[in-house]
């Protein structure tokens, strides 16, 4: 083989190697707002589901309750940052804020939390299951908690999420605070029917009323029309006031 051919082949190989290296080291495209929103919507409802599921197991007490509490604390330590970030990112898309229990909450978030609680408690149905079934259900919940981070861990997207929320200050409270305030959903109080009737003319379909507090004479309800927040209703001895939602976006 001639020296010129050797030089030519060597040059081609070098160029191909450089091309491969260039392709391998090429910077990925920036994470888009749509991807951050999708990630937040992935993390947030599943976090509520995981909290409610572990809380159900904690309520059983005994060894399984102790294990559930330990798993919950570990899960919280590992995931509180991305959960808080996803809530904060979603917060700046909300326009239905109300004041309740000294904090600012989105009516949409309250409904989502309540819907998840109802669904998970119905699925677990721990009160009507035997010891073996309870054990299996809770062990599945523990496994999900341990694998929770891996289910959404995408470093680039998480980094972009953290960067985005660093400039957001919606001043809102979310799932963790709702978990403290509503570990169990109260039944409707004496003013439930009265409140429902008073809102009947504000919605073309039946108004949905969620009970947040039933400690007579105090009652609190969140109202919705076709899944959109209408108002927060607070009653004292049957006399009720309506707080319409406001927009507190940055």
- Distance CA(248)–CA(97), nearest Å, equals 7
Residue 25: pLDDT over 60? no
Alpha helical stretches, state H, the chain:
3-25, 33-58, 62-91, 107-124, 131-146, 155-165, 175-181, 192-198
| The two structure tokens encoding residue 54 | 């572990």
Q: What's the rounded mean pLDDT across residues 97-120?
A: 92
Q: Read off φ and ψ for residue 106, nearest 5 degrees.
A: -85, 130
pTM of the entire predicted model: 0.81
Per-residue model confidence as pLDDT tens digits over 123-171: 999 999 999 999 999 999 999 999 999 989 899 999 999 999 988 766 7
Residue 237: pLDDT over 60? yes
CB of 168 closer than 8 Å to CB of 89: yes
Report the share of the chain in percent with pLDDT over 70.
Answer: 87
Residue 55: pLDDT over 50? yes
CB of 175 closer than 8 Å to CB of 109: yes
């Amino acid at each position: 083989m001639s020296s010129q051919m050797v030089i030519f082949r060597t040059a081609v190989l070098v160029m191909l190697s450089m091309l491969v290296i260039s392709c391998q080291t090429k910077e990925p495209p920036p994470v888009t707002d749509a991807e951050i929103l999708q990630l937040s919507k992935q993390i947030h409802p599943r976090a509520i589901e995981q909290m409610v599921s572990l809380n159900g197991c904690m309520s059983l007490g005994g060894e399984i309750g102790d294990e559930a509490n330990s798993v919950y604390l570990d899960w919280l330590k590992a995931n509180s940052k991305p959960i808080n970030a996803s809530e904060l990112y979603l917060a700046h898309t909300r326009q239905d804020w109300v004041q309740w229990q000294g904090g600012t909450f989105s009516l949409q978030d309250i409904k989502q939390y309540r819907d998840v609680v109802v669904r998970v408690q119905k699925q677990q149905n721990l009160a009507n299951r035997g010891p073996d079934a309870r054990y299996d259900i809770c062990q599945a919940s523990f496994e999900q908690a341990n694998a929770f981070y891996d289910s959404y861990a995408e470093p680039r997207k998480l980094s972009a999420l953290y960067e985005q929320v660093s400039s957001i200050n919606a001043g809102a409270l979310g799932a963790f605070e709702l978990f403290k305030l509503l570990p169990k959903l109260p039944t409707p109080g004496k003013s439930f029917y009265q409140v429902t009737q008073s809102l009947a003319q504000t919605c073309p379909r039946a108004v949905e009323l969620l009970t947040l507090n039933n400690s007579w004479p105090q009652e609190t309800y969140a109202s919705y029309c076709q899944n959109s927040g209408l108002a927060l209703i607070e009653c004292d001895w049957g006399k009720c006031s309506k707080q319409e939602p406001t927009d507190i976006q940055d």
